[in-house]
Chains A and B, each alone.
Chain A
Amino acid sequence: MHSRCTRRRFLAGAGALAAGTALPVGRLWAADEPTRPRSRVVVARDEALAGGKLDEHRELLEKLLNAAMQKLTGAADAATAWRQLFKPSERIGIKVNTLGLSAQPPVADAIVAGLRLAGVPAEKIVIWDRFDTELEKAGFKLNKSASGVQCRGTDTKRGGNGYQEKIESSGQIGSCFSKIVAEEIDALISVPVLKDHNLAGVTLGMKNFYGAIHNPNKYHDGNCDPYIVDVVAHRFIAKKWRLTVCDGIRGQCQGGPGAKPGFQWPFAGLLLGTDFVATDAVGADILEKQRKEKGLKSLAEDGRPPKHIATACARGFGEADLAKIERLEV
Chain B
Amino acid sequence: MDNLDNLFASPSRRDVLRWGAACAAACGLARGVRALAQQDAASTAELAGPRLAGVARHPALFWEKLPDNRVKCLLCPRGCEVADVERGYCGVRENQGGAYQTLVYGTLCSANLDPIEKKPLFHYLPGTPAFSIATAGCNLECKFCQNWQISQYRPEQVESIVTEPRKLVDACKARKCPTIAYTYSEPVVFYEYMHDTAALGREHGLGSVMISNGYIQEQPLRQLCRQLTGVKIDFKAFTEKFYQEACAGQLKFVLATLEVLKDVGIWFELVILIVPTLNDSPDEIKQMSEWVVKHLGPDVPMHFTRFHPTYRVTNLPQTPIPTLEQCRLIALDAGVHYVYAGNVPMHPGENTYCHGCKHELIRRIGYEVASNQIRDGKCPKCGTAIPGVWSQEQALAFKPREKPSAPTASQPS
Q: Which residues of chain A have a CB within 8 Å of any CB of chain B? A: 99-100, 131, 133, 155-158, 162-163, 165, 167, 169, 174, 198-199, 214-215, 217-218, 220, 254-258, 260
Contacts and interface: CB of A to CB of B under 8 A. Distances in A.
Contacts of A255: 68-69, 83-84
B382 interface: no
Contacts of A218: 89, 91, 141, 152, 248
Interface in B112-167: 141, 143, 148-149, 152-154, 156-157, 159
B152 to A, nearest CB: 6
28 contacts: A100-B84, A100-B85, A155-B156, A155-B157, A157-B53, A163-B157, A169-B312, A174-B143, A198-B86, A199-B83, A214-B153, A214-B154, A215-B154, A217-B89, A217-B91, A217-B154, A218-B91, A218-B248, A220-B89, A255-B69, A255-B83, A257-B86, A258-B69, A258-B84, A258-B85, A258-B86, A260-B68, A260-B84
B311 A167 contact: yes
Nearest to B159: A157
A257 B89 contact: no
B87 A258 contact: no
A218 B154 CA distance: 11
Contacts of A198: 68, 70, 83, 86
Nearest to B89: A217
Interface in B158-184: 159
A1 B141 CA distance: 33
Interface in B68-105: 68-70, 80, 83-91
A260 B85 CA distance: 11
Nearest to B95: A258
Interface in B14-67: 53-54
A212 B123 CA distance: 45
Residue from the set B86, B87, B141, B311 with the largest chain A CB neighbour count within 10 Å: B86
B54 A133 contact: yes
B54 A217 contact: no
A290 to B, nearest CB: 17
Nearest first, the 10 closest Cβ-Cβ pairs linking A and B are A258-B84, A198-B83, A155-B156, A258-B85, A217-B91, A100-B85, A174-B312, A217-B87, A255-B68, A217-B89
A236 to B, nearest CB: 18
B88 A131 contact: no
A215 B148 CA distance: 11
Nearest to A175: B152
Nearest to B248: A218
A131 B156 contact: yes
A255 B66 CA distance: 12
Contacts of A156: 53
Question: Would you call the interface of chain A mostly helix, strand, loop, or mixed?
Answer: loop
A199 B143 CA distance: 24
Given A167-B312, A198-B70, 16 more contacts: A131-B156, A155-B154, A156-B53, A167-B148, A174-B143, A174-B312, A199-B83, A214-B154, A215-B152, A215-B154, A217-B90, A217-B91, A220-B80, A255-B68, A255-B84, A257-B86
B157 A162 contact: yes
B184 to A, nearest CB: 17
A156 B143 CA distance: 26
A255 B88 CA distance: 17
Contacts of B153: 214-215
Contacts of A155: 154, 156-157
B109 to A, nearest CB: 12
B164 to A, nearest CB: 22
Contacts of A217: 87-91, 154
Nearest to B138: A218
Contacts of A257: 83, 85-86
A295 to B, nearest CB: 15
Nearest to B314: A167
Contacts of A256: 83
A99 B53 CA distance: 19
A198 B54 CA distance: 25
Contacts of A162: 157
A224 to B, nearest CB: 12
A284 B86 CA distance: 21
Contacts of A131: 156
B83 A258 contact: yes
Nearest to B155: A155
A220 B143 CA distance: 18
Contacts of B159: 157
B137 to A, nearest CB: 9
Contacts of B53: 156-158
Contacts of A133: 54
Contacts of A215: 91, 141, 152-154
Contacts of B68: 198, 254-255, 260
A199 B95 CA distance: 14
A36 B126 CA distance: 73
Nearest to A254: B68
A169 to B, nearest CB: 7
A174 B86 CA distance: 20
A183 B278 CA distance: 35
A124 to B, nearest CB: 27
A312 to B, nearest CB: 22
A158 B70 CA distance: 33
B379 to A, nearest CB: 47
B110 to A, nearest CB: 16
A308 to B, nearest CB: 17
B313 to A, nearest CB: 10
Contacts of B90: 217
Nearest to B91: A217
B331 to A, nearest CB: 32
A174 B245 CA distance: 13
A50 to B, nearest CB: 25
Nearest to A217: B91
Interface string B376-399: 000000000000000000000000
Contacts of B86: 99, 198, 257-258
A167 to B, nearest CB: 6
B5 to A, nearest CB: 21
Nearest to B98: A258
A173 to B, nearest CB: 10
Contacts of A199: 83
B337 to A, nearest CB: 38
